[in-house]
Structure 1
Amino acid sequence: MKIKIILLLLLTYSFALDQNFEDFEQEYKNYQINDPLVNYNKAMTHFNMTLYTYGFRPILKAYDQVTPQFFRVGVKNFFDNLFSPMRFVGNVLQFKFENAGEEFKRFITNTIMGFGGLMDPASKMGLKKHPADLGTVLGHWGVGGGFHLVLPVLGPSNLRDTLTLPAIWYANPVSYIEPQWVSITISTYGFGNELSFKLDEIDEIYYNTPNLYPFLRDAYEQRRQELSK
């Protein structure tokens, strides 16, 4: 059970990676956020930063150096294409039919012309990705985020988005692969490969941002509000 919970968090983080870290600073504003667990959240933010610094970062730096770029990009494209149907459904449930249509076109294009999603011809054709998940669907229809919550590994979240993790996991085709350890291995590898493309952005945020915790908290909450509109 603990392993599945961890994988739920890792999977949701792959959705978080759809949200470009470069957008965070542009969208950052000070406003009131429900944060009754502020002391816990600050401690967990410090834990995540330490885990990244001494765990994920050196491993992924080594992975980046020894793995050919085309291979990492292919894996990244494959997982992105795998999540496209979930983004399609998320946009439909928000009645964002134009976005849903573009996601559908992306999926068909990349699946057929991109050799099962290993390549991304859709982006070259101007078809944009439109992040959407169950949390943004609920937010769109008026369900508040609740209190802010920093999760192990994932970082910033809130009560609403955390409670959607099981549904997101079971909507992922990889979760149905048997035996379970294969599913866990594939999901973890996809998460790590995706994260390897974000090391510079994460370094910039973690090591060069004054008042790191409120910045991450406010940026996350505002980004989720923007996606829920």
Structure 2
Amino acid sequence: MDQKRLALALIAVGVLLTGCATAPERGGAANDPLEPFNRRVHAFNDVFDRNIAQPVARGYNAVLPQPVNRGITNFFRNLGEVSVLVNSALQLKPRATVITANRLLINTTFGIAGVFDVASMMGAKPQDEDFGQTLGYWGADAGPYLVLPFLGPSSVRDGTGLVVDGWYDPINSIDDTATLTGMTVLRVVDTRARLLGTTDLLGTAAVDPYAYTRDAWLRRRVNQIYDGDPPPDALPDTGNGQGEDDFDPFSDEDDDLFDNGAGN
């Protein structure tokens, strides 16, 4: 089965599962019927992260000067703008579509393949759209919360979206296996290095890191779908008493991540 047929199959399964999902209840339990499975995957991811991903990411930051580090981050973000552009158009958001198209043009040319974020210097800030958000925009329920091996927090809907977003990823069009593997590994390490600043904060902010991560992630996805202005009844009422509004472990603010220790 080729990638497109696989994605279509996953979309069909996702629609069926999200259609059967129960409405959210206080405490977030209804969003997490897969909790026993999710906790096992979360524990596996935590062991992998502490013993492999974090040490590699810290070494990456220690070796690379911050300007080079930032340039690599900008390069991969520029590649990701392709997916943002497609999903902005699919959500009928003309402003976000135009901004992203301009960012791609400016950064790919004047920014030397995106290494320098010239567009942001000109006031064109990056947008944030993916196919999971597109499905949510058009009314698809998130379905059960789902922790993916290595990838972490997701949902049935957003896991499906990851596959579809892969269609637009320029890296996936690389034919050479060694180059494709190297680019993928570099992107993963760069992403983890940017998030190092949140690791200690998450550990100290939550009595139950799994529940805290789940609830913060669910709230953040709702905020993304509604472009930061969700109606009050759209936000999941987690009721965990852990101050989810005070700290977001999934912040996209790269400057804050670097200031908190991800940079050099």
TM-score (norm 2): 0.72
Q: Which residue in 2 is equivalent to 1:166? A: 163
Find the residue that maps to 2:38 and give its secondary structure.
Answer: helix
The total of aligned residue pairs comes to 204
Structure 1 residue 65 corresponds to structure 2 residue 62: yes
Where structure 2 has 5 or more consecutive residues not aligned to the other structure, the ranges are 4-25, 227-264
Match runs of 1:32-181 below 5 Å: 33-181=30-178
Output the amino acid matched with 1:167.
V
Where structure 1 has 5 or more consecutive residues not aligned to the other structure, the ranges are 5-28
Shift of 1:175: 0.8
Contact 1:84-1:107 within 8 A present in 2 as well? yes
**Whole-angstrom distance in 1 between the partners of 2:204 and 2:36:** 20
Contact 1:49-1:206 within 8 A present in 2 as well? no
**Whole-angstrom distance in 2 between the partners of 1:96 and 1:139:** 14
Shift of 1:77: 0.6
Output the amino acid matched with 2:125.
K
Contact 1:33-1:218 within 8 A present in 2 as well? no
Residues 39-83 of structure 1: CA deviation (Å, up to 9, x unaligned): 111222122122111111111111111112221111111110111
Return closer, same or farther for 1:117/1:85 CA change in 2, 3 Å cut-off: same
Shift of 1:209: 2.1
**Whole-angstrom distance in 2 between the partners of 1:33 and 1:130:** 31
Return closer, same or farther for 1:90/1:33 CA change in 2, 3 Å cut-off: farther
Contact 2:82-2:168 within 8 A present in 1 as well? no
Q: 1:222 aligns with which of 219, 224, 227?
A: 219
Find the residue that maps to 2:120 and give its secondary structure.
Answer: helix
Shift of 1:31: 4.8
Q: Which residue in 2 is equivalent to 1:17? A: none
Shift of 1:98: 0.9
Which is worse superposed, 117-126 or 205-214?
Answer: 205-214
Match runs of 1:12-31 below 5 Å: 31=28
Return closer, same or farther for 1:95/1:32 CA change in 2, 3 Å cut-off: farther
**Whole-angstrom distance in 1 between the partners of 2:215 and 2:138:** 21
**Whole-angstrom distance in 2 between the partners of 1:199 and 1:115:** 27
Q: Which residue in 1 is equivalent to 2:15? A: none
Shift of 1:141: 0.3
Report the identity percentage. Answer: 31
Shift of 1:140: 0.4
Structure with max Cα Rg: 2
**Whole-angstrom distance in 1 between the partners of 2:198 and 2:97:** 28
Root mean square deviation, CA, Å: 2.1
